[in-house]
Amino acid sequence: MGLAAGLVFGLLLGACSGSTSPRVPGSRTAPGGSLLPATPTELPSFDLASFRSLLSELHGTPVVVNVWASWCGPCKTEGPLLAKLAREYQGRVQFLGVDIQDARPAARSFIQTYGWTYPSVFDESGAIRDGLGFIGQPVTVVYDGNGKQVHVFPGVITTEDVRQQLDSVLRA
């Protein structure tokens, strides 16, 4: 079977499986077929397309995306602030980390150190950050429930600034 025929066969087989959720290469999906990692320290590998699929899956819920790395000094500064905000908005806003250019053991330790209760995805090359048009980290992006990007915070966040954006999104 040629490569093209094999790809077509694989796509048809996947389409006939009854699964409606896209699969993330090299990772498990959470219970129920969701792309959202099941635990904060799972750190499945994502590329830009998979990340965009996850954001689409979260449609209807405001989302805060934070691009970070365990070796990033400013990320360490905002780590406790993000943990606090995620607890404060739990059940109303989905927080999601994008760990870039990192090593999983160091990233997992970072997540545990700051007590993050929300999941992150692993982007070894930084392709998600780059594909979203950002340079450096940390960067924090607020999306409304319709998936529209409403604010970008380059650098270290303040809890007051993020609260203001989230409260505005939740009132809308």
Q: Which of 36, 64, 67, 75 is catalytic?
A: 75
Q: Which of 35, 69, 72, 128 is catalytic?
A: 72
72 in catalytic set: yes
Buried b (16+ CB within 10 A) or exposed e, 117-147: ebbbbbbeebbbbeebebeebbbbbbbbeee
Helix 104-114 / helix 73-88 crossing angle, nearest 10 deg:
50
Check if the beta carbon of residue 111 is closer than 8 Å to that of residue 83. no
75 in catalytic set: yes
**Number of neighbouring beta carbons within 10 Å of residue 169:** 21
The token pair at 87 is 């607890």
Check if the beta carbon of residue 29 is closer than 8 Å to that of residue 35. yes
Supply the residues annotated as catalytic. Answer: 72, 75
